[in-house]
Amino acid sequence: MMLSEDSICYETYQETADWLLSRTKQRPRVAIICGSGLGMLAEALANQEVFKYTDVPNFPQSTVQGHAGQLVFGELKGKACVCMQGRFHKFEGYPLIKVTFPVRVFRLLGVEVLIVTNAAGSIADGYNIGDLMIIKDHINLPGLAGQHPLCGPNDERFGSRFPCMSDAYDGDLCKLALNISRELDCSDYMHEGVYCMVGGPSFETIAEARLLHTLGVDAVGMSTVPEVTLARHCGLRVFGLSLITNKVTKEYDSNEVVDHEAVLGIGKRRAGLLQSFVTELVARMEFNAGC
């Protein structure tokens, strides 16, 4: 069954979920979406089973450097997980219904918690390259302009027509993450902040950066929000984490420039810490009994 540009029927999501369930013994409770250069999070999984996106029915294909393009099933501290090594973006040419396709598949696999990670540029003055930001809220700029992943027909089997987003990021998971950051002695470069999604693929102009700063944005990127929106629509709990890979220039006399290679390099530098942090977070999560 081919994907439509405008909508995807429930049976298509179910077809993909059934294909995966028939080929792995893992029954994940946690899904992790790995951002640019952060695919090493999947390397911490034990008892891995790997499926390339090209082999999974109905799955889009990742085209961005730093996104391996495969699903990795396995365990973190004995808890079943699935990792996306590579996500999809609207700037690759995909409609948002395809960008978010895996989230509903995860829900049909039995996933309860979605962890989203990304590489982001800092808007906040007090952030440094290499810092981590727990996402406490977001601004969906494309969504405010009408490019929203829930536009089109609504299937009540996934969620209601008008989902609440004031609780997009799970407060208990954020508190747990802050406690873990203190235990791992990384609280000095751990923040809580507001993430803003822009369309990309170009980085922000100085005027745009100043606008975002005025709006109260702490970090900016080109992903994450569509997946979070679909996850909340279908009842998943969400935890979001940004790795600050560059400072967004807000001054016209600055000589700072950013490129994608530098973004990937910061991810490699923080690989060990990110693996330890996410592993500990998953280890302490509680799930609904009987699911």
Query: What is the spatial distance between Cα 44 and Cα 26, in angstroms, rounded to a whole number?
Result: 16
Strand partners, 46: 75
Q: Which of 134, 132, 136, 173 is nearest to 283 (CA)?
A: 173
pLDDT tens-digit map of 10-50: 999 999 999 999 999 999 999 999 987 788 888 889 999 99
What value does the mean pLDDT take over residues 141-164? Answer: 95
> Which distant-in-sequence residues (6+ apart) come within 8 Å of 206 by Cβ?
249, 250, 251, 252
- Amino acid at residue number 246: N
- Which one-letter DSSP state was computed for residue 291? -
CB 248 within 8 A of CB 213: no
Helix or strand run (H / E) with residue 84: strand 79-85
Q: Do the strands 113-122 and 132-140 form a parallel or antiparallel pair, or are they unpaired? A: unpaired
What would the two tokens of residue 42 be? 């999947």
Is the dihedral angle over the CA atoms 86, 164, 274, 134 positive or is it negative?
positive
Which CATH code fits 10-283?
3.40.50.1580
Residue 216: pLDDT band with limits 50, 70, 90: very high
pLDDT tens-digit map of 176-208: 999 999 999 998 999 999 999 999 999 999 999
CB 111 within 8 A of CB 103: no
Checking if the pLDDT of 264 tops 80, the result is no
Residue 65: pLDDT band with limits 50, 70, 90: low
Residue 80: pLDDT band with limits 50, 70, 90: very high
